[in-house]
């Protein structure tokens, strides 16, 4: 505010100061004319500096100075009419000077203000122009950048089809520099098929002014192919002549790959539908069939044309169609997207011929806008159920088999193990499965197992190979092996199945059979040799002149023939008993009668050997085959007579066996309590005073061709089969036979028979 007041007051101070200076100079300078000039000068300066009003102030002050100070001091200037005129002229001239200088000052000021305004306007305009220029430049740069780096390619072709403009995006796609393509015909970049399409479309494009969705294959600089979709518009001059094109290109390689993948996927899906063995069926909201694949045709026997648009109930048994319809409706309204196969359990389907079959089904729902499509995949499980039944039967056979059945991989790892394998080898299934088969094989047999696995891989089988295997407890067992390849569903060999049979008993029987044959051969050869020798001597006439010797040879031949007949009969009887061909018919028999008949048959033989046969009878009714028991008693009495010294005694007795003494017919050999025994038995005893039997042979004497002394067969005339026959006869009576003996004191043979139940009670 102080500055404003200063600027307003300052011109008037200048007016007063300039007047004072002009007065002083006038007083100092002479003459008057110069004095007036100074005042004019003061007025002009003041008006020029401060404007018209300070100029008029200077004029007034200058007039007063002249009138009151200077004019009176000039002698030749008197205050008269002339002086007044001069003063008036001074005032007029001074006023004009002040007015002119003031107007000049005002004009100058206005000119300066106008100049300032003009400068400000110029500056503002320059700023606006610069801003607009910057905006235009930015816009042009942005447009250029958008053009050059657009996500699509841009180019322009002239009337000859040459490239006159191309953006950086397309250059990057093609791998060229701009200078390499400008002026080059676009057709040179195309494949032959695309060149033909371009040549057909470009002339028409120049006339119509546009083209859409043309696909071209462009050869890039690296000779790779760029597949593009081209859209273009034409630019014409004022006369309507074609100037150039504006074309956009989009890289559609990814789209084409996606379309190809989709097409392939659709083809695969269609192929899957066609080759699937399962029935794939889709239905609409009304449960009418809209999809029926080849698998469904095979399963149901209908063709797709026969069932399309038909209700789903066509494929269902009538008794369950309502249930299935409700199930599908509930599923379609539920929030579930799918239910897996087997969740619902087994269902039934109906074929075209009316037959039904068991099936499993999965179900899924697909939302297509407002439409709901339900698709079911149905699998006929008839074959599977039959296979499961067969597998169950096979598993039952394997589980109940008396043979060990084991399966293993081609690397020899055990994968299955039945109960008989547990019994044979001692390992439980949990212990054996997952272990190498080598746990059963003695070290010296491992190379054989390697060879067997090699044969299995070649598809060969091994039949009844006899070998040795090791049990869990370390003992060895003789087995017969049969190995076969195990194949998967494709026929590929994936393992081996092994059947192991314990042949320990069989080998024992074979050994016994071989021994039996050997002994029989020996026993038959002995009497035959004697017969042949005796008859040979007679035939050659050696004893023609010695009738006693000849008669003796005939006696020897007769005795050996009888012995041979007994041997053959005993062998046949034993074989029939062991094979079960001789079935004894049991009946109620009196023990006293059996004893008496046997004693009567052997009494003469005893007396011949100077022995006393003592019978201690007891009348008890027993279940027995009388002839077989008499054979047993006579056989035992015959042995007692043969092995007793003359003058001795032989006792035949029977008594009731104590219940508490009755042994159990089991492997443990323990006795039952009397209350647990359903029958009471009688015990026969044949006691002699012969030489006795060593303790180590008390069990073996009942075996075939067993003698206490090897010479007994020759000296005593036995066959070695009598006790074995007795044992088999007693076993068929559900009894037992045994011997108690002391060397030098004699032996007692016992056997038991069951009594009739009425007497036992």
Span 168-224, pLDDT tens digits:
999 999 999 999 999 999 999 999 999 999 999 999 999 999 999 999 999 999 999
Give the SS3 label for residue 719. coil
Is residue 631 a contact partner of residue 602, using CB atoms and an 8 Å limit?
no
Is residue 480 a contact partner of residue 501, using CB atoms and an 8 Å limit?
yes
Q: Give the model's pLDDT for residue 663.
A: 46
Residues 6 or more apart in contact with residue 693 via CB below 8 angstroms? 701, 708, 739, 741, 743, 747
Is residue 446 a contact partner of residue 438, using CB atoms and an 8 Å limit?
yes
Is residue 43 a contact partner of residue 62, using CB atoms and an 8 Å limit?
yes
In angstroms, rounded to a whole number, what is the distance separating the alpha carbons of residues 274 and 297? 10
Tokens found for residue 653:
């007795």
In which residue ranges of the chain is pLDDT below 70? 1-9, 14-15, 19, 22-36, 38, 47-49, 51-52, 55, 66-108, 139, 341-344, 368-370, 398-400, 509, 512-530, 559-560, 562-582, 658-679, 704-720, 758-761
Tokens found for residue 472:
């869990």
Domains, the chain, in order of start with CATH, read 2-119 (no CATH), 150-251 (3.30.450.20), 259-385 (3.30.450.20), 401-499 (3.30.450.20), 508-572 (1.10.287.130), 583-760 (3.30.565.10)
Residue 181, CA atoms < 13 Å, CB-side half-sphere: 26
Cα–Cα–Cα angle for 733, 739, 743, rounded to 5 degrees: 165
Is residue 229 a contact partner of residue 247, using CB atoms and an 8 Å limit?
no
Dihedrals φ, ψ of 138, to 5°? -65, -45
Contacts of 66-72 with CB under 8 Å at 24 or more apart are 66/35, 66/36, 66/39, 66/90, 69/23, 69/27, 70/23, 70/26, 70/27, 70/32, 70/35
The DSSP code for 662 is P
**ω into 472 cis (within 30 of 0):** no
Nearest in space to 746 (alpha carbons), one of 661, 670, 643: 643
449-465 b/e with 16+ CB inside 10 Å = b? beebbeebeeeeebeee
Q: 706 burial class (0-12, 13-18, 19+ CB within 10 angstroms)?
A: middle
pLDDT (tens digit, 9 = 90+) per residue, 546-560? 778 777 777 777 766
In angstroms, rounded to a whole number, what is the distance separating the alpha carbons of residues 31 and 28? 10
Give strand pairing partners of 249: 153, 230
Q: How far is CA 715 from CA 360, 639, 706, 709, 712, in A?
A: 84, 13, 14, 10, 5
In angstroms, rounded to a whole number, what is the distance separating the alpha carbons of residues 178 and 171? 7
State how far Cα 217 lies from the chain centre.
45
Label residue 459 left, alpha or beta by phi (over 0 means left) and psi (-120 to 50 means alpha).
left
Give the SS3 label for residue 216. strand
Give strand pairing partners of 328: none
Q: Give the model's pLDDT for residue 105.
A: 65
Nearest in space to 36 (alpha carbons), one of 83, 84, 80, 70: 70
State how far Cα 99 lies from the chain centre.
116
Is residue 656 a contact partner of residue 677, using CB atoms and an 8 Å limit?
no
Nearest in space to 217 (alpha carbons), one of 184, 248, 185, 193: 193
Dihedrals φ, ψ of 316, to 5°? -120, 150
Tokens found for residue 368:
């297509």
Tokens found for residue 514:
């071989």
User: 0.75 cut: is pTM over it?
Assistant: no
| Residue found by looking up tokens 């006393």 in the block | 612
In angstroms, rounded to a whole number, what is the distance separating the alpha carbons of residues 395 and 398? 5
| Residue found by looking up tokens 């250059």 in the block | 171
The beta strands (E) that lie in 434-508 are given as: 462-470, 476-487, 493-502
Nearest in space to 501 (alpha carbons), one of 381, 602, 362, 402: 402
Q: How many CB atoms lie within 10 A of CB 710?
A: 7
Tokens found for residue 700:
């073996």
Give the SS3 label for residue 65. helix
The beta strands (E) that lie in 237-302 are given as: 242-251, 279-283, 289-292
Dihedrals φ, ψ of 364, to 5°? -140, 160
In angstroms, rounded to a whole number, what is the distance separating the alpha carbons of residues 349 and 351? 7
Nearest in space to 747 (alpha carbons), one of 644, 603, 609, 653: 644
Is residue 151 a contact partner of residue 169, using CB atoms and an 8 Å limit?
yes
Give strand pairing partners of 416: 407
The beta strands (E) that lie in 584-661 are given as: 587-590, 612-616, 621-624, 649-656
Residues 6 or more apart in contact with residue 544 via CB below 8 angstroms? 550
Residues 6 or more apart in contact with residue 578 via CB below 8 angstroms? 728
Q: How many CB atoms lie within 10 A of CB 214?
A: 18
State how far Cα 154 lies from the chain centre.
52
In angstroms, rounded to a whole number, what is the distance separating the alpha carbons of residues 33 and 41? 12
């Amino acid at each position: 505010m102080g500055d404003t007041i200063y600027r307003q007051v300052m011109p008037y101070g200048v007016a007063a100061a300039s007047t004072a200076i002009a007065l002083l100079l006038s007083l100092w300078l002479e003459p008057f004319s110069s004095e007036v000039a100074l005042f004019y000068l003061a007025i002009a300066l003041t008006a020029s500096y401060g404007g018209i009003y300070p100029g008029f102030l200077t004029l007034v002050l200058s007039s007063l100075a002249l009138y009151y100070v200077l004019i009176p001091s000039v002698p030749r200037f008197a205050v008269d009419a002339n002086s007044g005129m001069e003063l008036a002229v001074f005032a007029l001239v001074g006023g004009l000077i002040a007015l002119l200088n003031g107007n000049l000052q005002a004009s100058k000021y206005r000119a300066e203000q106008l100049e300032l305004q003009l400068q400000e306007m110029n500056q503002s305009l320059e700023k606006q122009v610069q801003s607009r220029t910057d905006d235009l430049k930015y816009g042009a740069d942005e447009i250029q950048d958008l053009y050059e780096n657009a996500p699509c390619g841009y180019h322009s072709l002239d009337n000859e089809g040459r490239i006159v403009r191309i953006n950086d995006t397309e250059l990057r796609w093609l791998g060229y520099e701009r200078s390499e393509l400008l002026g080059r015909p676009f057709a040179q970049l195309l494949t032959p098929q695309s060149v033909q399409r371009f040549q057909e479309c470009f002339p028409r494009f120049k006339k119509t002014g546009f083209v859409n969705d043309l696909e071209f294959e462009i050869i890039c600089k690296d000779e790779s192919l760029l597949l593009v979709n081209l859209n273009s518009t034409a630019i014409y001059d004022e006369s309507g002549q074609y100037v150039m094109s504006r074309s956009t290109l989009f890289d559609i390689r990814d789209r084409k790959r996606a379309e190809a993948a989709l097409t392939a996927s659709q083809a695969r899906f269609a192929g899957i539908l066609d080759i699937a063995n399962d029935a794939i069926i889709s239905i609409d909201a009304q449960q009418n069939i809209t999809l029926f694949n080849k698998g469904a045709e095979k399963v149901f026997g209908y063709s797709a044309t026969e069932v399309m648009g038909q209700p789903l109930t066509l494929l269902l048994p009538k008794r369950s169609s309502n249930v299935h319809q409700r199930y599908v409706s509930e599923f379609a309204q539920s929030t579930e997207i799918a239910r897996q196969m087997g969740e619902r359990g087994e269902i039934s389907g109906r074929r075209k011929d009316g037959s039904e079959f068991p099936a499993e089904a999965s179900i899924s729902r697909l939302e297509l806008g407002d439409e709901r499509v339900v698709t079911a995949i149905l699998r006929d499980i008839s074959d599977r159920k039959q296979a499961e039944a067969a597998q169950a039967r096979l598993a039952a056979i394997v589980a109940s088999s008396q043979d060990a059945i084991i399966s293993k991989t081609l690397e020899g790892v055990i994968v299955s193990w039945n109960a008989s394998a547990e019994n044979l080898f001692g390992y439980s299934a949990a212990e054996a499965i997952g272990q190498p088969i080598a746990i059963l094989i003695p070290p010296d047999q491992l190379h054989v197992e390697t060879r067997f696995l090699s044969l299995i891989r070649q598809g060969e089988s091994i039949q009844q190979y006899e070998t040795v295997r090791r049990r869990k407890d370390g003992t060895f067992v003789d087995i017969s092996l049969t190995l076969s390849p195990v194949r998967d569903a494709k026929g590929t060999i994936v393992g081996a199945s092994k059947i192991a049979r314990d042949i320990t008993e069989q080998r024992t029987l074979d050994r016994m059979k071989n021994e039996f044959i050997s002994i029989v051969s020996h026993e038959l050869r002995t009497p035959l040799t004697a017969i042949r020798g005796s008859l040979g001597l007679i035939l050659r006439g050696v004893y023609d002149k010695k009738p006693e010797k000849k008669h003796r040879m005939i006696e020897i031949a007769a005795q050996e023939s009888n012995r041979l007949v007994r041997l053959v009969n005993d062998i046949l009887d034993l074989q029939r008993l062991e094979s079960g061909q001789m079935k004894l018919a049991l009946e109620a028999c009196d023990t006293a009668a059996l004893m008496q008949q046997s004693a009567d048959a052997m009494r003469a033989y005893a007396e011949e050997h100077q022995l006393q046969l003592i019978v201690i009878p007891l009348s008890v009714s027993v279940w027995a085959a009388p002839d077989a028991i008499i054979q047993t008693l006579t056989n035992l009495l015959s042995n007692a007579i043969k092995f007793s010294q003359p003058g001795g005694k032989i006792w035949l007795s029977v008594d009731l066996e104590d219940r508490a003494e009755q042994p159990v017919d089991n492997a443990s050999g323990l006795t039952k309590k009397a209350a647990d025994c359903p029958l009471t038995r009688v015990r026969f005893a044949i006691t002699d005073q012969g030489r006795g039997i060593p303790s180590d042979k008390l069990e073996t004497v009942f075996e075939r061709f067993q003698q206490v002394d090897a010479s007994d067969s020759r000296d005593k005339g036995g066959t070695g089969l009598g006790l074995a026959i007795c044992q088999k006869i007693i076993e068929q009576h559900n009894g037992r036979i045994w011997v108690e003996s002391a060397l030098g004191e004699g032996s007692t043979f016992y056997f038991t028979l069951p009594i009739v139940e009425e007497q036992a009670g």
